[in-house]
Structure 1
Amino acid sequence: MIEFFIFSDCQEKDGHPLPPKRHQIEGGNLTLTSLHETDRGIYECFATNEAATITAETELMIENLTPRPPYNLTANSTETSITVRWQPDEYMLTGKNPKVGYLRPNLEYTVWYRLTDAPEWRTMRILQKNVMEATIQHLLPGREYEFMVLSQDKHGDGMFSKQIRFSTQPSKVIVEDESAVAGARENDNHPQQPQQQHQQQQESTGDRNIKAPPAPPPPHANSLSEPWNLSAINNQQGWLLHWEHPVDGLDLLRHYTVRWWKEPEHHLVGTVETFDNYYQLRHLKEGATFKIQILALSMDGEQIPSSILMIQVPSHRKTRILLIGSSVGVAFLLCALIAFLYVKRSCLFHLFSGGINDVNSGDGAACSTSIDDGDDSEHSHDIEKINNT
C-alpha cells in the first residue's frame, strides 16, 4: 500500500486512469493497494479554482522488481563492427522533458546478437555499469545481424528488448577484387608482354610501403573453415587471446574450444568453451612456454583446428629478487651512514668537552701555586722577627 498527499484530484502522468478498485482518494490522500509492477510511474496531482490550476508531480518506483526491458534501440555500423545504443525503460517520458524519471543504480546490460540466418545467439556483457551502448567487433562485412539487449540488476534479469536488425557496411576489398577480376578477364582478351605487365604492376603499387594483414584461409565449400589470425596480448590479468571468425560456414558454428599445453612436457593445462572470439588466460606459470590452439566446433560435431600459437611467459622472480636485494642494500647503506654520523658527532663532543676540562685544571693549579708562595713569604717574615727579638 502506498499513500500520496494530493490537493483535489490525481491521475497518472501519461493520462492513464488510476487502477480501478485499488485506489482511494480521501482527505487529500491517494492510497494504492495491492501494488502491481504496472503501477510504477509518474503521478500528477492538481487543484483547480476560479483563479488558476496548480499541479504537483511525484514518482512511484517499486524497487524490489526486476528492471524493465531497454527500448529505443538504434545502431550504426562499419565494415566489421556495429554500435548499438539503447535507453533504459526506467525513463518515464513526459510531454515537457523527454528524460524525466528515476534511473536505477548499478544496472548491467548484456547484448545478444547473431547473423539473421544463424540459429544460435552470441552474447557480449557490458562490464561498466549504466553504460547504454556497445560496439560489437570482428563482424563479417556486408551481412545482416540481429540484436537485442537484456537488463540486469541485483534483483535478477529483466526482459529482453525488442529485436532490431542492422547490416555491416559492404567490404571495399570485395569491390577491388571484383575490379581486379574484371581487369584480369580483359587481360585474357588482350594479352600483354611480361615486361609491360611488370611495369604496370610497379605503377599501380607505386612507392607505398603497406604491410598487408594476415590473409584468411582459402574458402571451404559448404563447410566450416578454421579460425585464423590467432594472437595473444599480455595484460594485467594475464594473456588475452583473440582470433578471427571462420571465413566460411559461420552459420554452422556451434562454439569455440580453447586449449593450451605446457611445453616441452606437452601437458594439457586447460580446456574451455566460449561463444566469443576472444578469451582471457590467467595464472600461467612464469618462465614457462605454452602452446595454444582454437577449435571451431560445427553443428554436426566436426572440430576444425586453428594454427598453433606459442607464447613465452616472462619470469618476474629474478626481477623481484633484484628489487628486494637492492632495497636491502640501500637500507644497509643508510644504516651505516647514520651510524657513522652518530660516531663522528660523539667524538667531536668528547674532544670539545676534554679541552674545556684541561683549561679549568690549569687555572686551578696556578691559583694554588700563588697561594703557596704567599704562605712561604709570610712564614719567613715571622722567623726574622723572632731572631731580631
Structure 2
Amino acid sequence: MSPPLNRTVVEGEHAELECLPRSPEWNVQWVREGGSQPAGQRAANGSLVLQAATSADRGWYECHVSAEDGQRQSASAFLDVDESHEGVYSCTAYNALGSGGASGGVRVRVLRPPELALRPAPLYLARLGATLALPCQPAPTADPLAPPPKDGRPLPEGRHSLEVGNLTLVDIAEEDRGVYECTASNEAAAARALTELMIENVPPRAPYNLTARPGVSDIHLTWLPGHGGAEMEYTVWYRRRADREWRTMRLLTRGVTDATLLQLRPGAEYELRVLAQDRLGDGLFSQPIFVNTLGAEMEEIESVGVAAAVTEGGGGIDGSGDEDATQELDVSVRLLEEGALVRWSGVRPGERCEVRWYGEDEVGGERLLASMHTSHDYMLLGASIAPELEGGAYRARVRCGSAAGHAALHVPQYARLRTVAVGVAAGALLLAALAAALLVWRRRSARSSRDSRTARLHKRPR
C-alpha cells in the first residue's frame, strides 16, 4: 500500500490523508490514536477526507489495510491543524474628528499542550544482562525529549542511549530496577509518561541487617535499605512480645534509616519490624528482630515523656548551657495524636543531636528528666502526661554540634482541671434537681387551690 504522510492545514481547509491499497478489493479502515473513529469520510480509493478541518481533528491517524488472504498492513500519519486566530492584531480608534492611526501590532500565537505519539507500557520485566528498549516519542509539535530520570536519579552511565525519546538500556543490572519518566514539553505545557522496570528473578528487597541499641525505656534501631533507599518511606512496627497489638512510628523524612522508640517498658522483650514503601505505596516488611530493654537499675536517668499544651521559644526555665553555642537552632513543639513532636532546623542532614528534658524541682530550680540522641531533625515523645508532671514548666534543649536551641513547655494542671470540671458538673446537677422540685411543688399547690375553689362553689346552704 501507499502509506499516508504527515499533513499541516489551516483550520477550515480541506484535508486528505492518502492510504492507497494495491488492490481496490482490499479493505481499508481508519482509526484515531486511542482507537476512536475519525470525523471524516473514507474515499473510494481508501483515503480519509476531512471537508473542513477543525482544531479537534488534530492528532495521529492510523490506516489498516487487510487483504482477502489474511495479510494485514498498517501505517500512521499526523494531521496538524493551524488555528486561524494566529496572527498580528492592531487597534484603531475613531471619533468625529477622525483617527490618530493604528496602534502597534500585537502578535497572537496559539499554543497547544504537547502530546506523546508513542508511550511506554506501564510495566517491563527484563533479565539481568539483557537489553531493553523503552519507547517514548513526542508529537511533531513538542520539543525534543530530555533523558528520562529514574526515580529522580541519573541513568546508568555508559549503559544507556537515547534516540528521539526512545531509551535503550544495555547489560541490565539490579540497580536499574525502578520507575522511569518520559517528558515532552513545549512553551505551553509538558506531557509525561511513567513506566516501571522490574528485574526477573530479583524480587524487591526489604530493609535488612536491623541493628538495635536498647536503653531502659527506649531502643535505637538502624537498618540497611533495600532497593531505592533514597526514595523510600519507612515505618517502624513494634510491640511487646506478650502483646497482640502493634504500635507504629512513621519517619517523616525520606531515606532516613534509623529511629528511636520511646516510652518502652524497662526489662521487656520487644519485636521490631521495618516497613519500606515506595512512591506507589508498595513495600515489604523486614525480618523481625527481638530486643530486650535494660532494667531500670542499669540506667541513671529514666526517660520521661512530656506532652506540652503550650510552646514558647525561649523563656520558661532558664536556657543556660547554650552560651558556648555559635549557632542558634529554631526549636518548636507541636502536640500530635501520637504524642508531642519536637522539631528543630538549622543543622546539616544526618547530624547527630542531643535532646534533653528539664523540669522544675521543689525549690524552683531545674532538674534533668531525660537525655536522648537522634540523627533526625525531630523527636517524638510520649502520648500521655505523667500525673506528677502536671501543672509545671519544662524545657526541651537541643544541641547539634556547636548549634543549640530550646523551647519552654507549660503543662496545665489536668488533675485540678478535672476536679473543677467534676465540681461544676455536680453543682449543675444539684441546681437542676432543685429547679425540678420547685416546679413540682408549684404545680401541686396550684392544683390544691383549684380544688378548694371548686368545693366552695358547690356547697349548699343550710
Q: TM-score, normalised by structure 1?
A: 0.34
- From the two aligned structures, give the one with the greater strand fraction: 2
Which of structures 1 and 2 has the bigger CA Rg? Answer: 1
Q: TM-score, normalised by structure 2?
A: 0.30
